[in-house]
Amino acid sequence: MKLFSSIKINLNKNRGLLLFFKGLPKKLAKKPLYSILTIFLFSLIWGVWLFYKYVILIEKTEPQVQENLLQIEDKAYQRILSEWQGREKKFREADLKSHLNPFSQSVD
């Protein structure tokens, strides 16, 4: 435990605060109205924080414009284009073929 050996917490200073948080669940369980109000308060604070983070801060910041444009490699583009054309050709050939219906009754 060498990692936590340098961290020393003075519990005598924070004893009152520690006792308050330790007894908080018992106090909230005795009075359901306070429990509901506490949960509502936490959810309200969380909702305001999310709204501020994802709406207000987004509107304040300006989008960053990139100077360099998208560059496409010509060889890769031609390879993809030929692959798409080959698939389109196979698709059209499959559409023209007449297939036997396996569900129809054949008379011999």
Q: Give the integer Cα–Cα distance in Å for 25 and 29.
A: 6
**Three-state secondary-structure class, residue 25:** helix
Per-residue pLDDT of the chain (108 residues; tens, 9 = 90+): 455 455 555 656 677 778 888 888 888 788 888 889 889 999 999 999 999 998 888 877 777 777 777 788 899 999 999 999 999 999 888 877 777 778 887 655
Cβ contact 28:35 at 8 Å: yes
Q: Which two tokens stand for residue 40?
A: 């509502």
**Angle subtended by helix axes 32-51 and 15-30, to nearest 10:** 110
pTM over 0.85: no
Cβ contact 38:28 at 8 Å: yes
Residue 69 phi, psi dihedral angles, 5° rounding = -85, 165
